[in-house]
Amino acid sequence: MVKSGTLILSVAARLLMPLQLLFSLFLLLRGHDEPGGGFIAGLVAAGAFALYLFAYGLTATRAMLRVSPRDLVGLGLFLGVLSTLPAWWNGQAFFTAQWWTVPLIDYKFSTPLIFDIGVYLVVLGSVLTAVVALVENDRD
């Protein structure tokens, strides 16, 4: 069940997955101005990994992920909390958004972005934790 082995799915997954991940990053970064954002992007990325999981199995997906999905959840929560701190440093109320412009490329970097990345990782990690736990359970 877990590893389908069909040629169409395998090829499709291999081709689609990088695109899906790229698309999720795209959604994440443009989310502040256009439809998108960390939550949606995290779901898209989770979908990408789930597709890969169905095509190539658990071991291959683990190797691909490198880290445990639960660590992603932890990292995401950490980033979420971290993004609250700069405001404190500047003596402003808790969670006040901070904006910095990166020179040369004129890119606006901000604590909401850090926070959104945190949301992205938590969503991705949570869904994958559930999926991987379910798949693992099948094997025993």
Partner 1 sequence: MQLAVLGGFVLAAFAPLLHRWFGERAGLVMALLPAGLALWLFGQLPAVTAGQTLVFEYAWMPGLDITLTFLLDGLSLLFALLISVIGVFILIYAGGYLKGHQDLARFHVVMMGFMMSMLGLVLADNLVAMFVFWELTSITSYLLIGFNHTDPEARKSALQGLFVTVGGGMALMAGLVMLAIAGDSWSLQALTDKGEILREHGLYLPMLLCVLGGAFTKSAQFPFHFWLPNAMAAPTPVSAYLHSATMVKAGIYLLARLQPSLGGTEAWVTILSLVGALTMVTGAFLALRHTGIKKVLAYSTVMALGTLTMLLGIGTEEALIAFATFLLAHSLYKGALFMVAGILDHETGTKDIAAMGGLRKAMPISAICAAVAALSLGGIIPLLGFIGKELMLESVLHAERFSNLLLIMSVAAAIMTLAAAAIVALRPFFGARRETPKPPHEGPSTMLTGPVILAGLSLVFGVLPSLVSPLVMSTATSVHGSAVESYLSLWHGVNLPLILSLISLVVGLLIYRHWERWRGWQAQLDPILNRGPEAAYFQFMNLVVVVAEWQTRMLQNGYIRNYLVMTLLILVGLTGHALVFRHDFDLDVALDVRIHEALVAGLMVAGAVTACIMRSRLASVAAVGTMGFCIALTFVLFSAPDLGITQLLVETLTVILLILVLFRLPRFATLSTPLERVRDVVVALATGSLITLLILAVISGEQLPSISEYMVANSVPLGHGHNIVNVILVDFRALDTLGEIFVLALAAIGVYAMLRFHADEYDAAKQRLPHEEYLDG
- 40 touching partner 1, by CB under 8 A: yes
The answer to whether residues 127 and 46 touch, using CB atoms and an 8 Å cutoff, is: yes
Question: Could you say which of 6, 12, 82, 136 contacts partner 1 (CB under 8 A)?
Answer: 136
Positions in 88-117 near partner 1 (CB under 8 A): 94-95, 97, 99, 108, 110, 112-113, 115-116
The Cα 64–Cα 125 span in angstroms is 14
- 12 touching partner 1, by CB under 8 A: no
Closest Cα to residue 38, out of 27, 49, 53?
Answer: 27
Helix (H, G, I), strand (E, B) or coil at 110: strand
The Cα 104–Cα 98 span in angstroms is 19
Which residues in this chain contact partner 1 in the complex, by CB under 8 A? 1, 31-40, 43-44, 46-47, 50, 69-70, 73-74, 76-77, 80-81, 83-84, 94-95, 97, 99, 108, 110, 112-113, 115-116, 118-119, 122-123, 125-127, 129-131, 133-138
